[in-house]
Structure 1
């Protein structure tokens, strides 16, 4: 898309952000107020993650734009493969740092025992159990994780990145969306239990840095591929490997919460390194501001 074909519309952007925060607040506040759990909590989380997509469709409806241009096309295979590999790489680096430094240890024997029982492979060695667990969760689990990630990415990358990039360029777009995306999570970060158990301000700072750094990666892939699907896979793989694979496989101690996962200090700084790598490649995009 050339610059003179820019889809930028300040009215649509403001409407989208207002609707996204409003719809999400309904689900977040309700779930926190009533302390929902189990299946209900999962459903409310799904609803919140699909709020940006709902906001996009409502925005288009309000402005009577039937054709929704949100980068639906399927990208080149290399972008799909890289989008799967990169979150695994920065997650693995982060957890290797934690394990080597002793801020947590590999592996959690109790968790592995649960996995062995659930898979019916109690007679196998721990290394093979871990292999089966990572294979099943880290490959086939991506499909389920993508279902939720798609709801967010239709909004953040499919709509908002497309709107902002051709006016503000790569760096400003990534910063703007990174800040908005981080603040969007603040209700559950401050009032809910979406943290590691450290003071909320610490988790908030680490999470904000991590999200902004991630946005530079997501924006790069969205613009370079011309598709929202690499961002969907980046998002899904990130959530899956950090939340459901590496974190539960880590045996914790008293200081682990300060270092582990999205609310600890290690992952944000590793992702800053990755973000600067993609910033250094911004000239490959159509606008390198």
Structure 2
């Protein structure tokens, strides 16, 4: 009876969290879809939507009297944080290497590099020096900005949802369920908003969903192995930073690029599946089986 009650309480906490996340997110979805022109609204609402899971987590803990301070806030073994940073960089580099080699996009976008150099005040540097320097500076300083938004989501997805699901299901089910919820949470802005690759919405949804569910396997493995939600933050922030702020803008687009590049293209989806399979094969290293 006690075990059954524990499972019931766990399921209740998950349902409350998901309901609150939906309610808060719906408000920001509506605001985003009705925003005016300019970048200010998009930036503010972008921050807002990514912190909805954190707010839902906090209120779920308050309502059900759960310990919000017990969401694996500890840093844990540094090696897992380091790998969490480099894994997205690795699969992004492989993905865009394939795109450039196959001619689905070109290296490198001189206009983007020129604008970036001018913005930083480094216009006097040759491209061969600026590109690696920009990569390093963006990968360090830009990473902190990326963490500030990723943290909002990760408090919810990996801080709360993954450990709760892992109490009642194995690694595979936890990764799948979290990944599907995580992907579907983005759907309104992909279907009705501008958060897509410019391809038919079904194509963007398919590629994005495959990539996000695959990433969920990676994030879940690191979260359960490290017992730290910061691995999720590192993975999420690294993915957003390198895919959205370096590899995609530095790629010269052609007629095929939108079908293969970025989070809504086929290449990252396929490569991330390969990474997910690798971490799935290492699931026996975790305390959660299955």
Normalised by the length of structure 1, the TM-score is: 0.96
1:60 touches 1:68 (CA, 8 Å); kept in 2? no
Distance 2:88 2:131 in 1: 19
Distance 2:108 2:66 in 1: 52
| Paired positions, count | 286
Deviation at 1:25?
A: 1.1
Aligned pairs for 1:89-168 within 5 A: 89-168=90-169
Distance 2:243 2:287 in 1: 32
Deviation at 1:213?
A: 0.2
Aligned pairs for 1:129-278 within 5 A: 129-278=130-279
Distance 1:96 1:174 in 2: 28
1:260 touches 1:267 (CA, 8 Å); kept in 2? yes
1:75 touches 1:227 (CA, 8 Å); kept in 2? yes
1:46 touches 1:148 (CA, 8 Å); kept in 2? yes
Mind listing any 5+ residue stretches in structure 2 that lack a counterpart? none
Q: SS state of the match for residue 152, structure 1?
A: helix
Distance 1:200 1:52 in 2: 25
* Cα distance change of structure 1 residues 240 and 67 upon mapping to structure 2, 3 Å threshold: closer
1:112 touches 1:126 (CA, 8 Å); kept in 2? yes
Deviates more, 1:238-247 or 1:163-172: 163-172
Distance 2:183 2:36 in 1: 23
Q: SS state of the match for residue 74, structure 1?
A: coil
2:35 touches 2:42 (CA, 8 Å); kept in 1? no
* Cα distance change of structure 1 residues 253 and 53 upon mapping to structure 2, 3 Å threshold: same
Q: SS state of the match for residue 261, structure 1?
A: coil
Distance 1:36 1:278 in 2: 42
What's the Cα RMSD here?
Answer: 1.5
Deviation at 1:33?
A: 1.8
Aligned pairs for 1:4-43 within 5 A: 9-35=10-36, 37-43=38-44
Q: SS state of the match for residue 263, structure 1?
A: coil
Distance 2:89 2:38 in 1: 29
Q: SS state of the match for residue 185, structure 1?
A: helix
Q: SS state of the match for residue 236, structure 1?
A: helix
Normalised by the length of structure 2, the TM-score is: 0.95
Q: SS state of the match for residue 288, structure 2?
A: coil
* Cα distance change of structure 1 residues 34 and 124 upon mapping to structure 2, 3 Å threshold: closer
